């Protein structure tokens, strides 16, 4: 599991994540292993939480299709994740159609994603629905803790980076599935 937060404040968007990867009940120290949770795709950052195998799948998909991927707005992000769902079932034999809710008609990625770019912050839920947020959002096992920190800190004098770091640090402090170093990526946007 993980924590990823995105904060848009003033003329900056910051995406921050922990770097811990869990191997069942085992965690490793950050000087021995750092998980990649934030990737740059064109002018966007794509961050993921959930199963560790997503890092391998995303690396493979992005290597094959990087020039064709557009993550600018809700329709293009939705299209990317629909294509990802299709590619996962077509090219990765270990993917199944699990669903968390018995009566849901939708498949379940069993992971969450954030895309951040000059157009804002977008959450992609496990059913591939896309929602846009104006100020901040958090995903992962520590998201409840981070969302509380984001809410409490957003209107302070802190910068987007300071708020994002504190929100990730709060999740690391209080959620056993979050840990390691804090990784930060920034991009300038219009205010």
Domain spans, the chain: 3-188
pLDDT band at residue 152 using 50, 70 and 90 as cut-offs: very high
For the whole model, what pTM was predicted? 0.90
Residue 64 near residue 54 (C-beta atoms within 8 A): no
User: Per-residue pLDDT averaged across 102-107, rounded?
Assistant: 61
Residue 55 pLDDT > 90: no
For the domain spanning 3-188, the CATH number is 3.60.20.10
Residue 5 near residue 150 (C-beta atoms within 8 A): yes
Q: How far, in Å, CA of 12 to CA of 191, rounded?
A: 8
Q: What pLDDT is attached to residue 67? A: 77
Question: Is the dihedral angle over the CA atoms 15, 139, 136, 160 positive or is it negative?
Answer: negative
């Amino acid at each position: 599991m993980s924590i990823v937060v995105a904060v848009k404040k003033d003329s900056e968007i910051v995406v921050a994540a922990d770097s811990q990867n869990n191997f069942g009940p085992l965690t490793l120290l950050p000087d021995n292993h750092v998980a990649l949770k934030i990737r740059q795709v064109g002018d966007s950052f794509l961050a993921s939480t959930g199963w560790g195998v997503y890092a391998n799948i995303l690396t493979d998909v992005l290597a094959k299709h990087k020039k064709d991927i557009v993550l600018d707005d809700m329709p293009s992000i939705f299209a990317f994740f629909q294509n990802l769902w299709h590619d996962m079932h077509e090219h990765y034999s270990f993917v199944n159609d699990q669903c968390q809710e018995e009566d849901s008609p939708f498949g379940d990625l069993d992971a969450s994603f954030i895309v951040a770019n000059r157009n804002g912050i977008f959450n992609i839920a496990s059913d591939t629905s896309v929602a846009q947020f104006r100020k901040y959002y958090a995903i992962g096992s520590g998201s409840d803790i981070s969302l509380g920190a984001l809410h409490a800190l957003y209107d302070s004098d802190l910068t987007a980076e300071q708020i994002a770091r504190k929100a990730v640090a709060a999740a690391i402090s209080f959620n056993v599935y979050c840990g390691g170093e804090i990784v930060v990526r920034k991009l300038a946007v219009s205010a």
